[in-house]
Structure 1
Amino acid sequence: MNKKQLSTGISVAYEEAGKGEPIVLLHGFCGSRRYWEEALPHFAGIGRTIVPDLRGHGDSDAAGSEERYTMEDLADDVAALMDELNLPKIALFGHSLGGYAALAFAEKYPHRLTALGLVHSTAYPDTEQAKENRLKAAETIRTQGVDAFVDGLVPKLFSPAHRESKPELIAKAKEIGYGTSPEGAAGCALGMRARPDRVSVLQRLNLPILLLAGESDEVIPPEKRFPVSGDNVTAITLEGVGHMGMMEAPEALAGCIGSFMERNRRTDRV
């Protein structure tokens, strides 16, 4: 593990592997860089892959007494980490919450991107019901603790088939989730609740975009998985996968990202 003190006022933990074009992978809510452990070896031939813990998650600092962690806060942390690592530009792939942060980054720092990917994520905002659920989540975390919230959350992230056939993945994801600070979990729940519609960000982005969905994802419904299309957009559905492709099908997920990167590198050379 590496750790950097950022200009945003927190220390961020991260792992790094491989060489070549810089790639940053962001994990989802109540996760950590460990979500990508099984997939990371498959990125060896793709590029220099950096996997941070988002603020309040894993081994990264929580942000003091702030109640809400906005997606812009998370995007600023990514930019500050890039500065510390002397990375002018990156290909940024975000899983779920990480996708919301990646979209905020694309809106604020488009000049620092070579490509953008949403992994089991969406550019649409929360529905009114989802906003209510975020408030309930924050309240559960504050009153019952992170462990109780994670126990209820994690099984829903996996496909029904994998809940039965791969209980070890459920156990690992729960263990990772227990490491989330209460401030980080509640703060990000409220930050996700407040995020705006960013479909227009994707529409304006003149860069390669990857939209990677799980066939059996019970978190992101089918109608919200592919909000844009176009010559610069690659849309892929992973069969038999829920909301956790990096754990449920790590080799296939990395292969999709690798093919996407290689295809767009070839385009750049023409």
Structure 2
Amino acid sequence: MPYLSSKSVRLYYEEVGQGQPIVFVHEFGSDAREWDRQLRWFSREFRCIAFNARGYPPSDVPTGSEDYGHFHAADDIAAVVRGLGLGKAHIVGLSMGAYAALLFGIRHPELARSLVVAGCGSGAALSHRESFKTHAEAMADAFLEKGSTHVAQELGNGATRIQLQNKDPRSWDEFVAHLSDHSAEGSAMTLRHYQALRPSLYDFEADLEAMTIPVLLAVGDEDEPCLDINLFLKRAIRSSALWVVPRTGHAVNLEEPAAFNDAVQNFLSSVDRGCWQLRDPRSLLTGLANPGVQNLRV
């Protein structure tokens, strides 16, 4: 199995294809396997890498709390880019991986060619911080007390996961089976020291407003915890576009793989051709209630 090292933690990765590099960063409830349909498609034209986060075997499962957290998640992406000699890479992240991708763009902009930020923002609202932390702690306890198989069923039947179950039961079964395989200890440590403690994305507003890396934001219109934060991200990041996917929950790439691949490919093509521009400042309203009337004389 191929591994690379990030701060003495071994990270397992898979690689296929040639061309401009894409690094895929998975969500909390999954692992590198969630990107299979993306690797099969994009490897026709790109060098594709998917890796398992720390705490997700066959990557190492550290036992110290100091080995987990949001900065580690962002720096692990940088370790993959540097360790494989990718230069600058497109980064595609979902949920926990999308949060890490944004933070990677803030901490390591020189390594980022673009960012695809999908299903990002659970628990970001300041009013939800304490309840989100409490929920993460309770889920960590459940992993340790009841095991990954039990938690996989609960998570799989959550309000933002039933969309996948309804659309594609076989993919939903695979998602639950993969989550059932996860290390209970690694999942609990991730929940306690990354999910529960990570800052709100609103705390990074100044950094996001300064960002010029091309960004594609993607969110399902039934992914309630992430809808409002994506509007904030769209307004804050001048180099971003927002794609809202109809009748879709959290795992956009699993629910709508063809649409996801098409949207991402069009985005990457625009970036690689040098056509992705910052938002035209004329599109920003500065006090008037109605667009298109700035020059109207009354």
**TM-score of the superposed pair, with normalisation by structure 2:** 0.82
Pairing partner for 2:223 from 217, 221, 226? 217
Correspondence for 1:156 = 158
1:247 aligned partner, one-letter code: L
2:105/2:213 contact within 8 Å kept: no
Structure 1 portions without partners, runs of 5+: none
Displacement after TM superposition at 1:85 (Å):
0.6
1:157/1:244 contact within 8 Å kept: no
Listed as ranges, the matches of 1:154-193 within 5 Å are: 154-156=156-158, 160-190=162-192, 191-193=194-196
Structure 2 portions without partners, runs of 5+: 278-298
Displacement after TM superposition at 1:157 (Å):
6.5
- Cα distance in 1 for residues equivalent to 2:45 and 2:222: 27
1:156 aligned partner, one-letter code: G
Matched, 1:259 2:266: yes
1:225 aligned partner, one-letter code: N
Correspondence for 1:28 = 27
Listed as ranges, the matches of 1:24-63 within 5 Å are: 24-63=23-62
Correspondence for 2:214 = 208
- Cα distance in 2 for residues equivalent to 1:113 and 1:129: 33
Displacement after TM superposition at 1:68 (Å):
6.6
Where 2:222 maps in the other structure, the secondary structure is coil
2:20/2:89 contact within 8 Å kept: yes
Displacement after TM superposition at 1:111 (Å):
1.6
- Cα distance in 2 for residues equivalent to 1:225 and 1:231: 13
Which structure has the higher relative contact order (CA within 8 Å, separation 6+)?
A: 1
Where 1:39 maps in the other structure, the secondary structure is helix
1:20/1:46 contact within 8 Å kept: yes
C-alpha deviations, 1:172-193, integer Å up to 9, x for none? 0011112221222112212111
2:209/2:238 contact within 8 Å kept: no
- Cα distance in 1 for residues equivalent to 2:110 and 2:163: 41
Describe the shift of the 1:266–1:7 C-alpha distance in structure 2 as closer, same or farther (beyond 3 A): closer
Matched, 1:137 2:144: no
* Count of aligned positions: 268
Listed as ranges, the matches of 1:57-136 within 5 Å are: 57-66=56-65, 69-122=68-121, 124=124, 127-136=129-138
CA root-mean-square deviation: 2.3
Matched, 1:226 2:231: yes
Displacement after TM superposition at 1:165 (Å):
4.2
Of the structure 1 ranges 22-31 and 78-87, higher mean CA displacement relative to structure 2 is found in 78-87
Correspondence for 1:237 = 244
Where 1:237 maps in the other structure, the secondary structure is strand
Describe the shift of the 1:267–1:157 C-alpha distance in structure 2 as closer, same or farther (beyond 3 A): farther
C-alpha deviations, 1:45-90, integer Å up to 9, x for none? 4521111111112421112333772011122222222222112221
- Cα distance in 2 for residues equivalent to 1:128 and 1:143: 23
2:163/2:255 contact within 8 Å kept: no
C-alpha deviations, 1:215-236, integer Å up to 9, x for none? 2224x34212232336521110
1:12/1:54 contact within 8 Å kept: yes
C-alpha deviations, 1:96-148, integer Å up to 9, x for none? 01012112222221221111121111293652211110111111112112221
Describe the shift of the 1:157–1:265 C-alpha distance in structure 2 as closer, same or farther (beyond 3 A): farther
1:118 aligned partner, one-letter code: V
2:200 aligned partner, one-letter code: D
Pairing partner for 2:255 from 248, 251, 254? 248
C-alpha deviations, 1:18-37, integer Å up to 9, x for none? 22111111110131111111
Displacement after TM superposition at 1:161 (Å):
4.6
- Cα distance in 2 for residues equivalent to 1:140 and 1:33: 23
Of the structure 1 ranges 34-43 and 2-11, higher mean CA displacement relative to structure 2 is found in 2-11
